[in-house]
Amino acid sequence: MNSNKFFSFSRFYLLLRNDILLNRQKYLLTIAGAFIFGFVFLYMQMPKVERLDNQIPAFNGSRYVSVFALFLIGLGWFIATSFSELGDKVKTSNYLLMPASTFEKFLSQFVIRVVIGTSLLLVIFWADAHLARTVALSQIEGPNHEPASANVSKYIAEFHYSMFLVKHTNNNEPTYWRLAEGMALISFIFSIGMYLFSKKLFHKKNGFGKSRIISIVIIFSILFLMPDSNWFSEFNSFISNNIERQLQNGYTNIDIWRFSIAYFAPLFLIPFGYFKLKEKQL
Amino acid sequence: MIHIKNLSFHYKKNTPLFQDFSLDVDNGRIVGLLGKNGAGKSTLLNLIAGLSQPKEGSMEVNGFTPFDRNPNFLADIYMVPEEFSFPSISISCYVKAFSPLYPQFDQKKLNGILTEFELQLSSNLNKLSHGQRKKFLIAFALSSNCKMLVFDEPTNGLDIPSKSMFRKILVSSVTDEQLVIISTHQVKDIDTIIDKVLVIDNGTMIYQENIDAISQKLYFDTVTTLAGVDNVFYHEQCPMGYKIIIPATNGNESNIDLELLFNAIINKSF
């Protein structure tokens, strides 16, 4: 056994192995469930009849994005099962007594739920999108049940992740996300993920109610922080008329403020979660 | 080795459980931790295992501060709690997942103890009875060869043959390097295996003595009448008359009646 009290690769490997051995059935079912759900949902959304008057592609990036959003909710649920042992006194005791450092325990959950979970989500969605498109295209036919035209392969856009670089606004005119904006969105999604990841560590008493309240606050914060959101239109128009100033880089001072919150939120959530685990008591 | 000095602990601020509590126990012993319900036994075990943090005072177990939860400390302590829960996996899968985390784990020893307890490696843990699961945990704890083994009510749920098997296996497998703490209400289940008695009441250590010293100081007997018996420290009625504790004289030794001793201590008879 390595004497390093903070991190040892051998201990970390054993901890990951332990988690996978104990939960392998649950993980396999989750992967299979996500794959089947993704395929069925995408396939059902894809057109089965070629309508030549429709714009091509009829099933474009924005349609993929809406299904991907459901996948992200599923990932959020999976991440929220982190530290599941801490919901029960007996399991908490077993978990805290496992011979590994707090950092190794925290990191192992992060690697399995966030890193591997997100990677698998991306792979599964990619595979689902391609499989659903292949199956849908093989079955597609004309409006009067005639064979589809030779151009049918363009009818459902081929999925690739660079589609997500295009921002779909209310006026349906595709524009590319600006770098800081896109990074802020990713950072926000990461913040939500980090909150879900460590929520079992934050709330010992009345955890259910507290996590619901904080979830609502986070959702409203996101809506508020989204520049194109109509949810806080009056407030946003007050801001834009009175406080907002255009900067030279194309952003406004409010954008910078919003991005700063988005970037820094995970920096607080991660260490806070770690120290909550370190000080966890029965 | 446990070294506790002036420890204070409370769950609610105005109701201290331990105040100025001190304790020293060396390795190579099987210690019986006795006390009434709510006396603080389980809390003391949690503090020793690093599951709770003392409010004041110093605490050292095997050279570590327990609440630091140093992985090397955790790899050398195994706690069998009164209540437990297992994932729905086989014994062999559980052993495969957890045994590598304990560097001194002895697979052969585990196989031997499981055979004695009539448990199969292929059995699903959640399909076993409470007693069988407890036997598995005891087997795993003893096979971990941890320097510190903590048992909270280990014989609860065990049938009579299993209780005697537990005593036999425990005595034969514990080495001088190890310290075993057994907290229990079932004092008769452990009276032949412990070599030190600790009694706590309301968070205070009210009695600690080695079994040898008790044998030299006290004599346990059953008499039909108290008439003519001098210097009775404590007595209780029983079907045959009275169980008594009197001073041991002339080097006479008797079997220690741990339950009687416990009642005498709680009733402050000496």
Pick B14 or A128 by higher pLDDT: A128
Residue B19 has pLDDT above 70, yes or no: yes
Q: Which of A207-216, B159-168, B242-251 has the lowest mean pLDDT?
A: A207-216
Contact A93 B87 (CB under 8 A): no
Residue B68 has pLDDT above 80, yes or no: yes
Structure tokens at B135: 């036997």
- Residues near B103 by beta carbon (within 8 Å), at least 6 away in sequence: A1, B75
For residue A226, name the pLDDT band (cuts at 50, 70, 90).
low
Residue position matching structure tokens 């009695």: B207
pLDDT tens digit string along B130-153?
999 999 999 999 999 999 999 999
Q: Which of A76-90, A95-109, A204-218, B200-214 has the lowest mean pLDDT?
A: A204-218
Residue A250 has pLDDT above 90, yes or no: no
∠ CA B31-B35-B37 to the nearest 5 degrees?
A: 135
Contact A21 B101 (CB under 8 A): no
DSSP secondary structure string, A119-181? HHHHHHHHHHHHHHHHHHHHH-B-TTSPBPPGGGGGTBPPP-GGGGGEE--TT---EEPPHHH
What is the reported pLDDT for A96?
A: 95
What is the reported pLDDT for A200?
A: 83
Q: Give me chain B's average pLDDT, please.
A: 92
Contact between B94 and B121 (Cβ < 8 Å): no
What residue ranges in chain B does DSSP mark as E strands?
2-12, 15-25, 29-34, 56-61, 77-80, 148-152, 179-183, 196-201, 204-210, 218-223, 234-238, 241-247
Most confident of A41-45, A84-88, B225-229: A41-45
Mean pLDDT of A158-186: 73
| B205 beta partners | B200
What is the reported pLDDT for B99?
A: 96
For residue B98, list chain A residues with Cβ-Cβ distance below 8 A.
18
Task: Say how far apart CA A223 and CA A230 lie, in whole Å.
Answer: 8
User: With pLDDT > 70 as the criterion, what percentage of chain A qualifies?
Assistant: 75
Contact between B220 and B255 (Cβ < 8 Å): yes
Is the CB of residue A187 less than 8 Å away from at least one CB of chain B? no
Residue A208 has pLDDT above 60, yes or no: no
Q: Which of A94, A105, A205, A276 has the most B C-beta neighbours within 10 Å, making it the best mutation to test the interface with B?
A: A94
Q: Is residue B149 classed as helix, strand or coil in its secondary structure? A: strand
Is the CB of residue B81 less than 8 Å away from at least one CB of chain A? yes
Contact B69 A93 (CB under 8 A): no
Distance between start and end Cα atoms, chain A: 27
Contact B101 A17 (CB under 8 A): no
Mean pLDDT of A93-113: 95
* Pairing verdict, β B234-238 and B241-247: antiparallel
Predicted model pTM:
0.85
Which chain B residue's Cα is nearest to A16?
B97
* ipTM field: 0.92
For residue A275, list chain B residues with Cβ-Cβ distance below 8 A.
none
What is the reported pLDDT for B53?
A: 95
Closest listed residue to residue A47, CA positions, set A157, A196, A195: A157
Most confident of A123-127, A255-259, B173-177, B186-190: A123-127
What is the reported pLDDT for B5?
A: 94
For residue B65, name the pLDDT band (cuts at 50, 70, 90).
very high
Task: Say how far apart CA A59 and CA A114 lie, in whole Å.
Answer: 30
Q: How far is A30 from chain B (nearest CA, A)?
A: 17
pLDDT tens digit string along A48-71?
887 766 566 778 888 898 889 899
Q: How far is CA B244 from CA A223, B28, B32, in A?
A: 78, 31, 22
For residue B96, list chain A residues with Cβ-Cβ distance below 8 A.
21
Pick A142 or B27 by higher pLDDT: B27
Is the CB of residue B93 less than 8 Å away from at least one CB of chain A? yes
Pick A206 or B114 by higher pLDDT: B114
Residue B98 has pLDDT above 80, yes or no: yes
What is the DSSP code (8-state) at residue B84?
Answer: -
pLDDT tens digit string along A8-39?
999 999 999 999 999 999 999 999 999 999 99
Contact between A48 and A145 (Cβ < 8 Å): no
Which chain A residue's Cα is nearest to B137?
A94
What is the reported pLDDT for A15?
A: 96
Contact between B11 and B195 (Cβ < 8 Å): no
> What are the backbone angles phi and psi of residue A92, rounded to the nearest 5°?
-60, -45
For residue A22, list chain B residues with Cβ-Cβ distance below 8 A.
87, 89, 93, 97
